[in-house]
Amino acid sequence: LSESEKTWNVSFELPGLEAKDINVQVVGQQLVVSGERKWEEEKKNKEFHRVESQFGSFQRSVALPENVRLDPDSIVATYKRGILEVSLPKIEPTPAAKITVKAG
């Protein structure tokens, strides 16, 4: 989770997936990323003795700061070279307003 002047940015490393296999949702004040990494059954006379990749369903939730605009149309998610980048715009702070006190 990183911050710029106008956005909050969340990065996820998801190597070996395609964009269609990734789900991004905002649930309450949480960003939820889920998906499934599938085992590619490719035998071709190979007998695996060791595999160091995880396969199956996954889900990761990230608590979002209070000043995030949660409108789905304003959130941008891009997936490139195994990295999912989600950019969430910040809410513009409401300027302070002076209230005039009336007598009597």
In the prediction, which pLDDT does 6 show?
92
In the prediction, which pLDDT does 97 show?
82
Pick from 87, 94, 61: which is nearest to 6 by CA? 87
In the prediction, which pLDDT does 45 show?
61
To the question of pTM greater than 0.85 for the whole model, the response is no
Give phi and psi for 72, each to the nearest 5. Answer: -55, -30
User: Is the torsion defined by CA of 34, 4, 1, 93 positive or negative?
Assistant: negative
| Residue 1 · residue 8 · CB < 8 Å | yes
**Residues of the chain whose pLDDT is less than 70?**
39-45, 48-54
In the prediction, which pLDDT does 13 show?
93
Q: SS3 of 20, please?
A: helix
| Residue 80 · residue 19 · CB < 8 Å | no
